[in-house]
Structure 1
């Protein structure tokens, strides 16, 4: 929940938050600058980084993390020093609009809460700005080649994250003006291979995957506890069964479905593995503790 004083601060400044949402590897970062151009958005938050134009303003990249769990935490600003750095930068930057990129509306909502900024004024889904063929091509690039995009020029990534830099790509966009004339605008984007997804190092044990699932459950609803986990891998992907202990009053049907999506989105986003299914089993109901519960 955004604090009252912070809410007043952002309201007085007339800040509007935009969200760009889509499943992992669908090309959100690739199209971020185009969305920002269309809506006149000055700042972008993507995978733990605060970006203005062609510069990295604050934060750290989740793609630099060596472990999957570390990447998850970085992307949602779990660590206080990281969160505070970006919050301070936001308070000093002059802007009216900011774009937050996430795999789901829940993820974007969590980022807004942690950075103490308003919830999204407008949510844009990747399916609204990219064709089915473009999305499939982006997913193939992610799953087969392990390539990720950061919406800043290659020079910025070479300077700040040389170990993950792979290549660069340029996007041409025509800008129309009142006279009917149009001028080309060129956006350069860096292509990287994250530390946690470099070829030759991609492997995930059952223990590591279990740790990620437990973390996702705790992030989604700290009052729900994981009692047991069963993980099976077949030709269609990983099949995960999560046995939970939940407090009385939990909206089991809707929350369980949303939790399934949250687990799948985060695991696929930060590991590159395919999750075929996540089964949620509520094994026991317990009294709800005060101060505990769903965080967003």
Structure 2
């Protein structure tokens, strides 16, 4: 009787090949497919982020456009404030919303030489949400929130803070210049979703020069309260820390010099700016507000 192991070895070889193929396919399903899907999600949100950058640019073109106003405190011809803009937006399965009444705004408490004034400026937000991630326009800034991660401000608002550095030898003799241009969103709540293309229409309604610039510093302390309906306070804290440190201010909450940041909750942040000198006004402050009618369709 002749015995041959050739057929047995072929069967074993085939089984091993099938086993290896199953391992490879399983690895692809377990690791490769989620990576591909994750890459698709990142690509979608990257496209949305670029669309928001275009939107922010269009909004700033509107508010910085030709302002046909003789007296900013008495706007009589709001139809000629500036050009309107229309921004295209690929939805890609997400939801785009304009929320004019959202609990997102700023409160300024300004200590002048002889008085303290309170101003509520800016309101509303524009958001894009898809699969647990979101990108939002709030208080003039663009903030991206990753799923399970911290919010990241990837484009700054119209807030400028810098040091005049009048006296390099004695920093306490220098002044701080702060300019804030708040964006107030008006109109009705509007939202679209799906896989098509949406358009965001931005039209100017009003412009106010709340605090005009002055030739001498007239503010001894400025408190900026940021309210974020999307709990993006950490992004705002990072923004103000960078701005104020770049302006040469140190955070000192105890001595009340430089500045102090206090996070009262996940939706509220208070920035207290004292300046370099607590014995005289050393803050140049100018504040503007543009009201825009924004609608998505």
Structure-1-length-normalised TM-score? 0.29
Greater share of residues in helix: 1
Structure-2-length-normalised TM-score? 0.29
